[in-house]
Amino acid sequence: MKQLKMITFDLDDTLWDNMPTITKAEFDTRKWIEDQVGKVEWGNFNDFLKIREELIEDDASIEWDISKLRREIFRKKLLHVKPNSYRDEIVENAFKIFITKRHEIKLFDDVEETLKHLSKKYILGILTNGNADIYKFNIGKYFKFSISSLEAMDSKPNRAHFDEALKQVNDISFENLLHIGDHQVNDILGAYELGIDTLWFNNNNQNWEQYFSKPDEFSAWKDLPGIIKNKYE
């Protein structure tokens, strides 16, 4: 039986449902912008992807710096706003609104109680591709570290997040690590290819679509301590 010492978690869609949060943050921020400068043509998701690719061509760091990406998309959409100094002011204020709203989350049931329980026995950490700050929430006190794509200068499923996690604690190897997340590729595949144990948070009854065997899964946070106890204790 492996000796489990540390558990890392994804954030968005693992600790909370991210879509309602981001949707409201987008809506509120766009409304504020239009209250300042008038109607803006925001486009659809395909437009967003096209702009993202264009921005990455000009600045490769935007691929993993989500906050910079958000600012630069605002700037692109506001090219008609003059002078440039006023546009920059709108962009910065809009981002402040967005990032505040982005932290208005609702944890999945039993998350806090489960983290409190696990933190008494294991080192807990966060590995996220997003820009939410776990230490803005009450549950932040249960985590020894949090590594975002900005800090890793890369995105999961690439290995940088996992390598950085090992640097946070002495005498830890991938053998002693368990990673928990919802995303089959970014979380589960990324960890699997490094030999890291995984648990898949599957609260939407998704079908398993990867080339390797499905890991143990759970759909309710209250079940997590029992699963970990059965596997490692």
**Where do the domains of the chain lie?**
6-16+106-232, 19-102
The two tokens of residue 75 are 């700037």
Any idea what DSSP says for residue 210?
A: S
* pLDDT tier at 138, thresholds 50, 70, 90: very high
pLDDT of residue 45: 87
CATH architecture of 6-16+106-232: 3-Layer(aba) Sandwich (3.40)
Per-residue DSSP letters for 95-143? HHHHHHHHT---BPTTHHHHHHHHHTTSEEEEE-SS---GGGSGGGGG-
CATH 3.40.1190.10 fits 19-102, yes or no: no
- Spatial distance between the Cα atoms of 200 and 206, rounded to a whole number of angstroms: 11
Q: Do residues 74 and 94 lie in contact, with contact meaning Cβ atoms separated by under 8 Å?
A: yes
Closest to 144 (Cα-Cα) out of 129, 136, 154, 134: 134
Q: What percent of the chain has pLDDT over 70?
A: 100
Q: What is the mean pLDDT of residues 46-71?
A: 94
Q: Provide the whole-model pTM.
A: 0.95
Could you give the CA distance from residue 59 to residue 42 in angstroms, rounded to a whole number?
22
Mean pLDDT of 120-124: 98
Count Cα neighbours of 61 within 13 Å in the Cβ-side half-sphere.
Answer: 8
- At residue 117, does pLDDT exceed 80? yes
Residue 217's DSSP bridge partners are 200
For 145-195, what is each residue's pLDDT tens digit? 999 999 999 999 999 999 999 999 999 999 999 999 999 999 999 999 999
Q: What is the pLDDT of residues 2-21, one digit of tens each?
A: 899 999 999 999 999 999 99
Q: How far apart are CA 214 and CA 188, in angstroms?
A: 9
Q: Determine the pLDDT at residue 233.
A: 87
Distance CA 85, CA 74 (A): 14
Specify which residues 126 forms β-bridges with: 9, 146
- Closest Cα partner for 127 from 86, 155, 99? 155
Statement: residue 1 has pLDDT above 80? no
